[in-house]
Structure 1
Amino acid sequence: MVGPEPETAAMGTGELLLEAYAADEQLQQALKQFIDRHIMLSFVAHEGVVPDGQDPEMGYIRELRRRLQEFKTEFYENHLCNCKCHKEKPAEDPAAEAGRIPSARAAEADEIPPAQFADAGKLPDAQVAGAQTAEAQVTEPVRAAATPPARPPLPAWRGPIDELLVSNIGLMYLHGWTVPEDRDDALHRMYVALLRLPSAQREAWTERLRPITTVPDEPRFIVLPGLKDETSGPLVPATPAGPSIVAITTHPLDPEVTFAIGGERDLALAQLLHGFGVLVSQVRCLAGVDTRLLDAVTDQTIAKFRGMTNGPAVDRYRNYVLARLRDLAQAGTAGERLYGAVRLDEALRSLVHAPVSADDSWWGALRSASFRLVNHYADLARKAEHRVDVDLLSGAYGEVVESGNSSKDAMAKPGPGRRDGEIAACLRLHLRIDGQQWKGRVQYYE
């Protein structure tokens, strides 16, 4: 198996979940309830789960495997017991039921003449046959209901996808991802989702999915510019359901991005603007491709992030990030340019996933590249004799709020494998220029 080592969840909880998933429909439903209760457990929330000197993630995996095995054993014991009891229970005899007399009428029953007992015990042959037919009609539906309907087998192409979704890496970064019914659509969406995984895992699972991917005879391509230190190549392979998205360092910027930047005579500023232009071109494209993206910037008055699942939502974000780039290009002083860079960085960082994409994923690399560009603008502001502090917020959310570096109305989204109150991602950098402060924004676990 390409991916996690044998002691990871891909070989532990992954195999157990897949085995249970294919068992029967009743276990599948019960297993979903089990996952809802336990899959979001913190890796380090339970005392005694992680012995000293051991990886907390491995402790969590062992604990989840133990609980899952106990759950399966208990389920099958109850399930088999119920089936056995049902089979051993004798069919109800209508005549015997009629012969049961409440205790309050026992005295009256004793006074019945013996002749009546003799008459009641003799049934005509026609009545006996009718009673047997009635019994068959009553018990047959019960037997049919006791046997769960056969679950149709999953198509072969679902195997690698399901294996990824129930693996440790899938639980961390793809929690809640659902598999579309259409094969090509499912693979196209999965390739886009792989951009949220750590780079090594993305490459490994891309290879795992390649054998079941149908490449169209005439594949479509979307070519994006890439940063100088970024490896050129496909971000998303081509499928019949979607085009291949390729990043090439020498490719020109999005025409609208080029127009927003305008002409810049200073070589250093032109290079910085071009770097931001590359990032803006990339997110404007992926905003219309990745349906799991959330917009956390265009309207900060709402309690939840906006989903990027329709045209107006995508256009809203694309216009917003383009406007921030235009503001940066038109800024006059070094301080104004730094402020504009932080606002543009916020627009890039606030295109998020739930759970948060990995720091060493493609999306994590985009955030890191944006932060480097902001620091270059900060250096230029310092050379212009501005007192500057730029902070990437991390750690405990409560401590950051108390320090005054983040606004108290910061957006929140839960995520697996982290402690409550821990910052998951910085959405806006904390900025000070000559004593004036702009508070940051964070995404934290609750």
Structure 2
Amino acid sequence: MTDSGTHLTDVPFEELLATVLCAEGRYAELFREHVTRLGGVMQEGLLRAAMDRARRGVPGEEDEMWQCVAELYRRLVSRLDRRPAPAPLTEPAPATAGAAEAAAAQVARQADPAVGTVTGRAVPPGDDGAVAGAPATGGGTPHRPDVDGWAVPGARPVAPEVREAGEQVRRAIEQVFVEFADEAEVRRWTGGRPVPAGFELVDRWRAFHLSLLRLPPALEAFWTARMRSAAPAYWLEPAENWQRVPAPATVPGRVLVPACGRYPGVLADPRASKAGGVAAPLSGNEPGHDLAAGLAHQMSWLAAADEAAHSARTWQLTPLRDPHEGVGYTELLTERLAKFSQAVAWGETERCVLRAAQLAEGLRMVVHRPLVAPDSWWHRLRDETVRFVREVAAEHAPHVVITEIAGRYAEAKNNGLTDGRDDVRLTSASESDGLVLDCLRPHLRGTELGDKPGRVVYGATH
């Protein structure tokens, strides 16, 4: 431990905890039991807070507190998982959990990335450099065990302890998938199929983390902590080879999909260059350019990466995994970016606001069925589109009245806020019957524009 003269007050808390958890003896075991019990209490509290948040909401300061609890729980469970396993009476003592984690890390780093050919995924197709793992300790060519089969034909055999450690990691992650799919509050926001069965681990990993973006913050924090207790820690920390999707400066950077073995993760990065790509039609001189370009990059990536995403280009929702719909949405977004930039370049006033509202609609057309939680990361990102329209109006035509449509759908139609021609009708529960569930395009009123109807998604029971 430490010399008697060492001041323990200078030792970091986590180091003290790790030392005690790894100690031997009757009292050390008693302490571990109490710490384990504390972890269970924290887990139960996280779940209850998540359910309360999803049903009726909790104050913002409490939500922030529970996110701190989730991080404490993650660290506590991580330390518990690293303590030595007890030695059996008649068999040799097994390797410590820390050694198993190291072996699992070796397997994951060497996994063969069977990268797909769909663009916009977490890993660019054919980018071998991006998915190359670190060389094995001691130099030489590392094994290339498969993520699911642990070894590719012709490769050198994987050590039994490495194979077993990898299987332990896989089983732990798969168990989280099962629990996630069975949770009623998760199904409420994901439609009951958050993690597809029968797919490769990396596909299920991506689906799980994209589903988290649709959940209320407390529920997301709980399941993030739950996965952190199962997956190798280094998978979850951003690395140099991660894909960075540009984000608006007003949106905090965050992990969208963590790494899975040698498949790099994806990070929403406000510092990444927004020039080029889907935002190429913008000149960079438009009002709200950072918002528009960042949102375009985010929505374009999400539309291509999220198998559960739908397009609201027409009066009905169409899965974006349909190649025709995916191409159609990309073309529509590109066209609206170009028209907005053109209106700014020509010095138009009210028409700039109209083009901004149409661009905001294009950005908000990526939706889910059921719709995402009102305070989820995804919903907060989409809400930035309204701020974009107001920024453009403030600079070009402050007199234009912008109305974000909400409330009863029938009243919105009667008041002329929408003409109903291409509104999206969404089958919903009785409490949402006849309500505006999402405003795709705000209503505009201006001297030259007159009244420009908005567009919404509304609920109906039949």
Return the TM-score normalized by structure 2: 0.58
Where does residue 98 of structure 2 map in the other structure? none
Q: Contact 2:215/2:373 (CA < 8 Å) preserved in 1?
A: yes
Return 404-413 or 283-292, whichever deviates more: 404-413
1:163 and 2:179 aligned = yes
Aligned residue in 2 for 1:336: 351
Helix, strand or coil at the partner of 1:239: coil
Aligned residue number for residue 327 of structure 1: 339
Q: 1:361 to 1:443 in 2, by over 3 A?
A: same
Which whole-Å CA distance do the structure 1 matches of 2:268 and 2:245 have between them? 5
Aligned match of 1:4 in 22, 47, 51?
47
Residues in 1 aligned to 2:49 and 2:380: alpha-carbon distance in whole angstroms: 28
Q: How does 1:101-180 map to 2 (within 5 A)?
A: 157-177=173-193, 178-180=195-197
1:395 aligns with 2:412: no
Give the aligned partner of residue 309 of structure 1.
Answer: 321
Distance of 2:427 and 2:440 partners within structure 1: 15
Could you say if the C-alpha distance between residues 417 and 246 of structure 1 is closer, same or farther in structure 2, counting changes exceeding 3 Å?
Answer: farther
* 1:291-340 CA-partner distances (Å, limit 9, x unpaired): 1111102xx2xx53111114443222122112111111110312111011
Partner of 2:248: 227
Structure 2 residue aligned with 1:251:
272
Asked if structure 1 preserves the Cα contact closer than 8 Å seen for 2:248 and 2:290, the reply is no
1:188 to 181, 188, 206: 206
* SS of equivalent residue, structure 1 residue 288: helix
Name the CA distance, whole Å, in 2 between partners of 1:220 and 1:312.
31
Shift of 1:212: 3.2
Q: Is contact 2:50-2:218 (8 Å) kept?
A: no
How far residue 415 of structure 1 moved from its aligned partner, in angstroms, is: 3.7
Distance 1:345 1:392 in 2: 12
- Structure 2 distance, partners of 1:198, 1:216, is 24
Distance 1:259 1:228 in 2: 18
Aligned-partner SS, 1:252: coil
Alignment match, 1:101: none
Shift of residue 281 of structure 1? 0.9
State the one-letter code of the partner of 1:421. Answer: G
State the Cα distance separating 1:368 from its structure 2 match: 1.6
Structure 2 gap segments, 5+ residues each: 1-42, 57-169
Aligned identity (percent) is 24
Query: Judging changes above 3 Å, is the alpha-carbon distance between structure 1 residues 288 and 183 closer, same or farther for their aligned structure 2 residues?
Result: same
Corresponding position: 1:210 with 2:228 = yes
Aligned to 1:141: none
Q: In structure 2, how many angstroms separate the alpha carbons of the residues matched to 1:235 and 1:367?
A: 15
Question: Quick check: 1:165–1:175 contact (8 Å CA) kept in 2?
Answer: no
Aligned residues of 1:425 and 1:444 also touching (Cα < 8 A): yes
- Look up the match of 1:79: none
Q: Distance in 1 between matches of 2:190 and 2:379?
A: 15
Between Structure 1 and Structure 2, how many residues are aligned? 293
TM-score by length of 1: 0.59
Bigger shift: 364-373 or 337-346?
A: 364-373
- What is the CA distance between 1:211 and its match in structure 2? 3.4
Query: Which residue of the partner structure matches residue 57 of structure 1?
Result: none
Relative to structure 1, the CA distance from residue 189 to residue 263 in structure 2 (aligned partners, 3 Å threshold; closer, same or farther) is closer
Structure possessing the higher radius of gyration over alpha carbons:
1
Helix, strand or coil for the counterpart of 1:413? strand
